[in-house]
């Protein structure tokens, strides 16, 4: 989707802004922020090259791989709710 967007729309700055917004929307740790920041800097140097597009694709894939899914978030909330009620989560 990232490569297709850049090749068809060509609005790299808008894409970077969207990816940055998504990064900050999630509860990210320092290393994830560093990795995406480095990808953006590398893209700036490689801007109109195939390698520059690959850098953004890699950054997007990294963000997707490290973002919680709706299912995992729901499981986390359910576990927290059950613990707050004093429920036993697992029995041996």
Give pLDDT tens digits for 17-57: 888 887 777 656 788 888 889 999 999 999 878 998 899 88
pLDDT above 80 (res 89): no
What pLDDT sits at residue 42? 94
Q: Is 11 left (phi over 0), alpha (psi -120 to 50) or beta?
A: beta
Contact 19, 59 (CB under 8 A): yes
More confident site: 59 or 1: 59
Contact 23, 33 (CB under 8 A): yes
Q: What is the mean pLDDT of the chain?
A: 80
For 76, the enclosing helix (H) or strand (E) is helix 70-84
Report the predicted TM-score, pTM, of the whole model to 2 decimal places: 0.61
């Amino acid at each position: 989707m990232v490569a297709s967007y850049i090749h068809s729309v060509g609005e790299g700055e808008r894409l970077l802004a969207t990816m940055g917004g998504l990064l900050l929307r999630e509860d990210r740790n320092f290393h994830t922020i560093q990795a995406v920041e480095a990808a953006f800097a590398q893209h700036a140097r490689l801007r109109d090259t195939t390698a520059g597009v690959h850098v953004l694709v890699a950054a997007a894939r990294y963000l997707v791989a490290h973002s919680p899914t709706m299912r995992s978030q729901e499981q986390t909330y359910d576990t927290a709710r059950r613990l707050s009620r004093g429920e036993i989560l697992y029995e041996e």
